[in-house]
């Protein structure tokens, strides 16, 4: 089965190698990516997706704490839907990825790829709104100390999530031909 394999993945067809480099059995089996010297960084993508899931869960937890602190107001409680949307979008992105046995043609249907993009747009919009609310609370300085700390934490989580989204967007634009 002529596909690119990650050497540290134990497989009946692939021996365990001492380094973690990505190799191909034949250049034509790996497509244009191997010929251009650019192999899709699956391990990095998976790490960034896990970071997005962790940020989503953390954002949802902090949003819940903020909603309790604000006694039901929606302000920083917006972290709950933003975190849930991030976790869902990252899960769909992992599900529709090209797999970790090497670069493969797109496995996701156009409908699923459109749903993935819509979920990321929704998650990014919720995080942008949350960032504006958190920045407003921090700049006003009138909130309780607990609410100020929650605003700072949620702003940090939103920043890390945005950085991971931008990094993955850069990877997709650079390495993914479609």
**This prediction's pTM:** 0.73
| 118-128 pLDDT tens trace | 999 999 999 99
> Cα(9)–Cα(142) distance, rounded to whole angstroms?
54
Query: What is the percent of the chain with per-residue pLDDT over 90, rounded to a whole number?
Result: 41
| 132-144 pLDDT tens trace | 999 998 998 776 7
Structure tokens at 121: 């747009």
What integer pLDDT is reported at residue 119 of this predicted model? 94
Q: In this model, does residue 19 exceed pLDDT 90?
A: no
Alpha-helical regions (H) of the chain: 27-30, 32-35, 42-69, 79-95, 110-140, 145-175
């Amino acid at each position: 089965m002529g596909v690119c394999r990650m050497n540290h993945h134990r497989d009946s067809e692939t021996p365990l190698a001492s380094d973690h480099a990505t190799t191909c059995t034949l250049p034509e089996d790996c497509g244009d990516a191997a010929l251009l010297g650019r192999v899709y960084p699956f391990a990095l993508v998976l790490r960034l997706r896990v970071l997005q899931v962790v940020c989503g869960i953390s954002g949802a937890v902090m949003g819940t704490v903020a909603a309790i602190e604000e006694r039901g107001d929606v302000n920083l409680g917006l972290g709950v839907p933003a975190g849930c949307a991030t976790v869902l979008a990252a899960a769909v992105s992992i599900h529709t990825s090209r797999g970790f046995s090497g670069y493969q043609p797109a496995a996701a249907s156009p409908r699923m790829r459109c749903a993935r993009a819509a979920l990321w747009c929704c998650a990014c919009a919720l995080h942008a709104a949350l960032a504006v609310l958190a920045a407003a609370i921090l700049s006003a300085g009138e909130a309780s100390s607990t609410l100020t700390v929650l605003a700072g934490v949620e702003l940090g989580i939103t920043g890390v999530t945005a950085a991971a989204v931008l990094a993955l967007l850069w990877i997709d634009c650079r390495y993914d031909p479609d």
